[in-house]
Structure 1
Amino acid sequence: MASESTRVSGLAVRYAAALHELAEETRVTDEVARDLKVLQDMLGESDDLRRFIASPVIARADHETGILALADRVGVCATTRNFLGLVARKGRLAALPGMILAFQRELAKRRGELTAQVVTARPLDDAQSASLAARLKQVVGNEVAIDARVDPALLGGMVVRLGSRMVDSSLRAQLQRLSLSMKGVG
């Protein structure tokens, strides 16, 4: 998962750049970004959906039918729906998670935003996410988007990565530090 969040293929970047240009021309950038976030969340929650988009044995036409049905059910805008159909027809649906990430990075770059990767033991609610984004904005001086993920192994607290900076205030890390300091005493 860590490499997924940092590396994106050249193919994904090219598709994301094309989608971003189209979204800007048609003035639906915010709608497309929202749609892609919904899809990203669905991919993160559903093993079946991840297997569906990654399966090389499913025919392109079936991929297209399935992804368009999902798009209609979720209610994405026409630009996002057309993009998903094109990606499926070209047999590139397996690269969709990378395309979403590349689109989000490009959008953040053009808006002058930084993205903080936040890992918590439990999901952040909207108020917590907004509060964290506001605090990080005070620290770095730019708008900060939160890319949140859950890892129950942290036990509590959070790990925040913003650019090359990392702050690990998780309960797991605190217990590890305590354990190491106790070993040094005896």
Structure 2
Amino acid sequence: MAQESALVSGIAGRYATALFDLARDSGQLDAVAKDLAALSALMADSTDLVRLIRSPVFSREEQGAAIGAVLARIGAADLTRNFVGVVAQNRRLFALADMIKAYGKLLSHHRGEVVAEVVSAEPLNEAELAQLKSALSSAAAGNVVLQARVEPDLIGGLVVQLGSRMIDASIRAKLNSLKSVMKGVA
């Protein structure tokens, strides 16, 4: 446990570690992960939900009732609903997104997985993702889980973050580098 809690820190890390320990002890690691992924997706899609979670204007009762209704609607497990209820009662919903990320880190570490975040200018197809996963797995000497997202500002290429290592092979980075070299010449 001490090793796992060293992976995450701060308020989000403490809450995520507590949830992880409860989920592990009750055999609900995957169910909680599924609930948190669904909640995270809802937060990504709903600015109103994010406003509710982050705004200090709403009372803890209002936040708790609203987030409880959201969790009931997605069919979240009792452990997840109770956890988020405690978070709301303690006025810590503003850190919920970070708690979800920290839980994911703890779960990946527990499973022996290494998470690689891949950012591309356009969506990668299945063959490209499989090839990238294979290359990263051999470099990381372990099972790699890809989290891909699209960022059109890259123009082209990829940005890959594997643990503490980051490889920026985007056209945006190359253009910025060329721009700084050109400033030095002028």
What's the TM-score, normalizing by structure 1?
Answer: 0.81
CA spacing shift, 1:78–1:127, aligned 2, 3 Å: farther
Paired with 2:36 and 2:179, the residues of 1 have a C-alpha distance of 42
Match of 1:82 in 2: 82
Match of 1:44 in 2: 44
Identity over aligned pairs, percent:
46
Following superposition of structure 1 onto structure 2, how do residues 16-27 of structure 1 map, counting pairs within 5 Å? 16-27=16-27
CA spacing shift, 1:163–1:84, aligned 2, 3 Å: same
Alpha-carbon offset, residue 182 of structure 1: 8.1
What's the TM-score, normalizing by structure 2?
Answer: 0.81
Aligned length: 180
Alpha-carbon offset, residue 78 of structure 1: 2.3
Unaligned runs of 5+ in 1: 1-6
CA spacing shift, 1:153–1:88, aligned 2, 3 Å: same
Paired with 1:25 and 1:169, the residues of 2 have a C-alpha distance of 42
Unaligned runs of 5+ in 2: 1-6
Task: Check conservation: 1:8, 1:98, Cα contact below 8 A.
Answer: no
Alpha-carbon offset, residue 22 of structure 1: 1.0
Match of 2:160 in 1: 160
Q: Which amino acid aligns with 1:170?
A: S
Alpha-carbon offset, residue 185 of structure 1: 9.8
Alpha-carbon offset, residue 159 of structure 1: 0.3
Following superposition of structure 1 onto structure 2, how do residues 1-186 of structure 1 map, counting pairs within 5 Å? 10-124=10-124, 128-176=128-176
CA spacing shift, 1:9–1:51, aligned 2, 3 Å: farther
Aligned-residue CA RMSD in angstroms? 2.8
Paired with 2:102 and 2:27, the residues of 1 have a C-alpha distance of 19
Moved more, 121-130 or 37-46: 121-130
Paired with 1:52 and 1:123, the residues of 2 have a C-alpha distance of 31
Over residues 42-95 of structure 1, what are the superposed CA-to-partner deviations in whole Å (9 max), with x where a residue is unaligned?
Answer: 323333222210110101111111111211222222221221122112211111
Moved more, 158-167 or 93-102: 158-167
Task: Check conservation: 1:9, 1:98, Cα contact below 8 A.
Answer: no
